[in-house]
Homo-oligomer: A and B are copies of this chain.
Amino acid sequence: MKLERLGERELIAAIRKEFPGSGKNIVLGIGDDAAVVRPGRIPLILTKDLLVEDVDFIRSLHPARCIGRKSLNVNLSDIAAMGGNPKYALLGLAFPPDLSLTWVSEFMAGFGSAARQAGVDLIGGDVSKALTIMISVTVLGEGKNTVRRSGARPGHRIYVSGCLGDAKLGFLLTMKGLRLGRSKSADPILRAFLDPVPRIALGRELARRNIPSSMIDVSDGLSVDLMHICEESGTGAEIELARLPLSPGMRTFGGKKALDYALHGGEDFELLFTAAPGKQNLLESLKKRFKITMIGRMTGKKGIYSVDRFGRKKRLEIKGYEHFT
């Protein structure tokens, strides 16, 4: 069934049924002019991210279910990078009228599964037509000790969660024709691109223990996102290349470009944060539950430098990347 035959009203009614908005602080969910929630006393964190067809995903390569999950999860990653607790989501979805109903159902199922995983309620949004699919998600969260990009100081250590570069490699393997569920060794890499995981629990724990002096999620790539921290904090940084965390899949498929993907790949949605040296003990206790790697330190000298395993220092090229354009 094509969506043009369904209509906006029926679609919203279906979504409303799926997402009744039963959270105890939801005064009014989907179906009125706007949603209403009862605020707590904790500061509110707000984030909005766009996913655009042929810019952020290609319909034929990216399962609709994964796009649904990713459209929410990239926003949850921003909340995680503030050390917050995501609560409510609004979904704006514009699509061509000849899009199949299956696509939208799969998309919504993915969105719903990511929402349930994170304890997030979908409380409102908008649907519209467009030439290509465009998704706009807004998430509201709460956070007592929100962590900014601006608190890093010279001497603070730089840490990153998980592994770096997998999403970029996963994108390249997807473009080469590899698909999910066909190879045990490639799947984690493909999934890093198609279905990334926001580090909500880690972000929250870090903030609760007051560990990070600054934090950001790796969306543009390590070099660009570290530059954001440096700019906002007024510092420089040194990255030890040998310490960059590479996954088994990256070692299998990454070849000579592994380091390049790790430095500039983007869309990893891992947490990049800095912490004063005194916080090391607190961090050790978290390492039992989360993969965290120290990768360098902040400096007083402007610019970001890489240090190779022979101790040679080199100015790091700051480059983001874009998948499809």
Q: Within 8 Å of chain B (Cβ to Cβ): is A48?
A: yes
- Within 8 Å by CB of A124, from B46, B52, B143, lies B46
Judge whether A132 and B131 touch: CB under 8 Å.
Answer: yes
Q: Within 8 Å of chain B (Cβ to Cβ): is A125?
A: yes
Question: How many chain copies?
Answer: 2
Q: Give chain B residues whose Cβ lies under 8 Å from the Cβ of A136.
A: 48, 50, 92, 126, 134, 136
- Within 8 Å by CB of A232, from B31, B39, B54, B150, lies B31
- Within 8 Å by CB of A82, from B36, B79, B130, B138, lies B36
Judge whether A39 and B36 touch: CB under 8 Å.
Answer: no
Judge whether B34 and A78 touch: CB under 8 Å.
Answer: yes
Q: Give chain B residues whose Cβ lies under 8 Å from the Cβ of A211.
A: none
A136–B52 Cα gap in the complex (Å)? 12
- Within 8 Å by CB of A32, from B82, B123, B126, lies B82
Q: Within 8 Å of chain B (Cβ to Cβ): is A47?
A: yes
- Within 8 Å by CB of A39, from B31, B41, B131, lies B41
A171–B48 Cα gap in the complex (Å)? 31
The contact string, 1 if C-beta is below 8 Å from chain B, for chain A 211-241, is: 0000111000000000000001000000000
Give the residue name and chain of the B residue nearest to A142 (CB).
B39
Judge whether A129 and B90 touch: CB under 8 Å.
Answer: no
Judge whether A48 and B124 touch: CB under 8 Å.
Answer: yes
Q: Kindly provide the distance from the CB of A220 to the nearest chain B CB, expressed in whole angstroms.
A: 9
Q: Give chain B residues whose Cβ lies under 8 Å from the Cβ of A232.
A: 31-32
Q: Within 8 Å of chain B (Cβ to Cβ): is A64?
A: no
Q: Within 8 Å of chain B (Cβ to Cβ): is A40?
A: yes
Contacts A40-B39, A216-B33; is A90 near B45 (CB within 8 Å)?
no
Judge whether A44 and B37 touch: CB under 8 Å.
Answer: yes
Q: Kindly provide the distance from the CB of A266 to the nearest chain B CB, expressed in whole angstroms.
A: 13
A127–B49 Cα gap in the complex (Å)? 8
Give the residue name and chain of the B residue nearest to A216 (CB).
B33
Q: Give chain B residues whose Cβ lies under 8 Å from the Cβ of A295.
A: none
A194–B125 Cα gap in the complex (Å)? 23
Judge whether B32 and A130 touch: CB under 8 Å.
Answer: no
Q: Within 8 Å of chain B (Cβ to Cβ): is A246?
A: no
* A→B interface (CB under 8 Å): 27-28, 31-50, 52, 54-56, 78-79, 81-82, 84, 88, 90-92, 94, 97, 123-132, 134, 136, 138, 140-141, 143, 146, 148-150, 215-217, 232, 325
List 26 contacting pairs A-B, 8 Å CB cutoff, sorted by A.
A31-B232, A32-B148, A32-B150, A33-B81, A33-B215, A33-B217, A34-B81, A34-B82, A36-B44, A36-B146, A37-B43, A38-B43, A38-B44, A47-B124, A48-B125, A48-B126, A50-B126, A52-B128, A54-B131, A90-B138, A94-B134, A126-B136, A131-B131, A131-B132, A134-B134, A138-B138
